[in-house]
Amino acid sequence: MSLRKKTTEIKRLVEAFDFEAKKFHDITFSTYTITQFTTSNLKFKSPNHAINLWQYYGKINEEHTSKELIKNLKTSDSQWGIRGAKISAFGLIEGNECNLFLKMARRAAHIFSKKEAEIISSKVVNEIRESESDGATKTIVSTNSNSLAIWLNYLLYYLSMTSHKYEGIRVIDIDPFALSLLALEQLLLEPTIKKVDKSLSKVDDIKFDVALSFPGEKRDYVSEVADILRENLDDDRLFYDFDYQSQLARPNTDILLQNIYRNNAKLIVVFLSKEYAQKEWCGLEWRSIRDIIKAKGDEQIMFVKFDDAQIDGLFSIDGYINANIFAPKNVADFIMERVKLLS
């Protein structure tokens, strides 16, 4: 049965993931990518669960590849993937509600038919092949058919993070309950396996009306603001990171982001909280924002605060909107008022 015939089940899952996402569990979703030569003493929070997502084994015409592959297939553990793979990617869930998420994720994966699960796998495989191909040889790539791996691979594809092949760990900026909720809500609106990216133009060249700066912990609130703003702004006039995820998946993203916030946005809306003060990427964006303030570009900045956390460069005399009083709809209306004044 295809996604189009599973509306009722998707609605149940949306309700279940929404219930858990609102609890703000201390849980993280990361990808852990290793090579044959990786040596690491990383320690993970308990409880945790790791599962192989995909592997790039090598190129098919390399010496002894076929014989070695057959041998390694026979002696491999499916949870950890094929022995001898050049690059292996694992999904890692850490936190107190790890087991609950695993249970819900496996159920979520079953909304995909066998054919749809194969489509997810082929999209992942194709992206990895494209990133590894030299145009002359065929690459060997595999994905895990376990239901949990299917769901995590889908979430990563949805975020345009499939081809993250560099050695080490990468923490996804949004917790797995909230991310699953966003993906399911999208499937409810449009039952098609696709990316969250909504960009229509090259992000380097866009002059945005509004750019949103926020920590991942506040994404639920900010995403509602973004949804309302999109309805009131022209295409490609709102900078919300998920809308440009595929274009942000590249080297030197820090320079790109600083240019957007410093030079290519009429209004920057900053969602301030204790988490904002702690995050590296928020700190990078904050430097650009402070430079605008230094240049007396006050009208370009709008503050929305969730708490009274101390932020370097922010003072008690600076005006702000209280997110604990005003709902996302109100904040979106305030933002549009400022945009009209700037225009």
Least confident stretch, 16-30, 41-55, 131-145, 301-315: 131-145
**Average of per-residue pLDDT across 11-35:** 91
Q: Sorting pLDDT into bands at 50, 70 and 90, what band is 306?
A: very high
Distance of CA 341 to the CA centre of its chain: 33
Q: Sorting pLDDT into bands at 50, 70 and 90, what band is 226?
A: very high
* pLDDT of 110 over the 80 cut: yes
- Write the CB contacts of 178 (distance below 8 Å, at least 6 apart in sequence): 17, 21, 219, 220
- The amino acid at residue 259 is N
* pLDDT of 258 over the 70 cut: yes
- Write the CB contacts of 115 (distance below 8 Å, at least 6 apart in sequence): 2
- The amino acid at residue 222 is V
Least confident stretch, 66-75, 226-235, 256-265: 66-75
Domains of the chain, first to last: 3-189 (no CATH), 203-342 (3.40.50.10140)
Residue tagged 């003060």 (tokens): 277
Tokens of 82: 């094929």
Least confident stretch, 48-52, 84-88, 92-96, 223-227: 84-88
Which comes out higher in pLDDT, residue 103 or 84?
103
Q: Give the mean pLDDT of the chain.
A: 85
Strand segments (E) across 60-101? 87-95
Tokens of 34: 């290793």
* pLDDT of 87 over the 90 cut: no
Q: Sorting pLDDT into bands at 50, 70 and 90, what band is 339?
A: very high
Least confident stretch, 19-28, 92-101, 292-301: 292-301
State pLDDT tens for residues 39-58: 667 788 889 999 999 988 77
Sign for the pseudo-dihedral over CA of 7, 9, 12, 17: negative
- Write the CB contacts of 231 (distance below 8 Å, at least 6 apart in sequence): none
The C-alpha angle 198, 204, 205, rounded to 5 degrees, equals 90
pLDDT in the model for residue 19? 93
Own/partner pairs for 290-296, CB < 8 Å, 24+ apart?
Answer: 291/262, 292/261, 292/262, 292/268
CA distance linking residue 334 with residue 14, whole number of Å? 29
pLDDT in the model for residue 64? 47
